[in-house]
Structure 1
Amino acid sequence: MGTFSILVAFSVRLLLVLLFLPFSALDKILNFQGAVGQAKEAVASRRGATGLILIGLFVEIVMSLGVLTGIADRAAAFILAGYCGVTALLWKQFWKPGDFWAGSDSRGRGLFWDFLKNFALAGGFLLVTFGTGAATVEAFFADPLASSHPYRLADTPLRP
């Protein structure tokens, strides 16, 4: 049962980061100029847009690996939660097209669902960060870079 439990724990974490690693990161690498063009929607300068894409690549790769490996996984998940929120606010602005009530296939409605999905994903990362109960929140603030030891099989409580 131990191997199965580890496999389930890993699979859950993989599902959380799968959007970023490999897919979004690989898309940014293979279509770098297109990604910079999209980033220019949020910042006018090409240098700023390139910087945003490079920061995004770093977050998507390094933080996803942190969540998967359990190395500073709570801090990595916290950063990914913030990343999901920021990207929703910068690129999923459903209020801008002005066609939200125009029909079920309006651009605003499509962006609205993407906006909500980003925040739902942020909630999943915050579960990794803080755990599932109020008692585990203090442990994160006491040592934010500590691992949650996601693949430990013992039932001993985590050290704060």
Structure 2
Amino acid sequence: MTSLSLGVGIAFLVRLLLVLLFLPFSALDKILNFRGAVGQAKQAVHATGPAVVLILLGLCVEIGMSACILTGICDRAAAFVMAGYCGVTALLWKRFWAPGDFWTGGRGRELFWDFLKNIALAGGFLLITFGTGAATVEGFFADPLASSHPYAVAPR
């Protein structure tokens, strides 16, 4: 295996690991267990219609944005959307403060770790959005729909 193909393979694997939770697993779970997903969404919006809309939007985000991140097409904008999605889902469904049993080791403590995992995922997606250094941030604001060209190899 040449260093070119090794580099492309690693770049793809890193992106795959980041989106693997969403595509295929979370998206497939929403499809196969649609009623259960709607039931969970109803905990946040308390009505079936808006819950269905939330689940369908979630499916679109999880499938569409993950595909963009994997292919490198508008990947920075897609990663930005995924970071927001992770933050919103953390606030809506990982509300560790709601049960009031955080200090006694109850459900609140379990949700706390899920909340932090969502926030950490958001951070990973923001690395794709903005790059890994201060010098790369400006590129996103200059052209947010441009690709980060994740599979390009710089000439030696």
TM-score w.r.t. structure 1 length? 0.95
User: Within the alignment, does 1:84 sit opposite 2:86 as a pair?
Assistant: yes
In the alignment, which residue of structure 2 is the partner of 1:50?
52
Deviations 1:16-47 (A, max 9, x none): 00000000000000000100000000101100
Q: Work out the CA distance in 1 between the residues paired with 2:97 and 2:69.
A: 32
Amino acid at match of 2:141: F
Aligned counterparts, 1:4-153, within 5 A: 4-103=6-105, 106-153=106-153
| Worse-matched range after superposition: 133-142 or 84-93 | 133-142
Q: Work out the CA distance in 2 between the residues paired with 1:47 and 1:108.
A: 28
Q: Work out the CA distance in 2 between the residues paired with 1:124 and 1:154.
A: 23
Q: Work out the CA distance in 2 between the residues paired with 1:78 and 1:87.
A: 14
List 4+ stretches of structure 1 deviating above 2 A.
none
Identical-residue share of aligned pairs (%): 75
Q: Work out the CA distance in 2 between the residues paired with 1:102 and 1:150.
A: 45
Amino acid at match of 2:21: L
Q: Work out the CA distance in 1 between the residues paired with 2:128 and 2:155.
A: 18
Per-residue deviation, 1:148: 0.3
Q: Work out the CA distance in 1 between the residues paired with 2:155 and 2:14.
A: 19
Per-residue deviation, 1:155: 4.5
Amino acid at match of 2:6: F
Amino acid at match of 1:25: A
Amino acid at match of 2:53: G
Q: Work out the CA distance in 2 between the residues paired with 1:45 and 1:31.
A: 18
TM-score w.r.t. structure 2 length? 0.97
Runs of 5+ in structure 1 lacking a partner?
Answer: none
What secondary structure does 2:43 align onto? coil
Runs of 5+ in structure 2 lacking a partner?
Answer: none
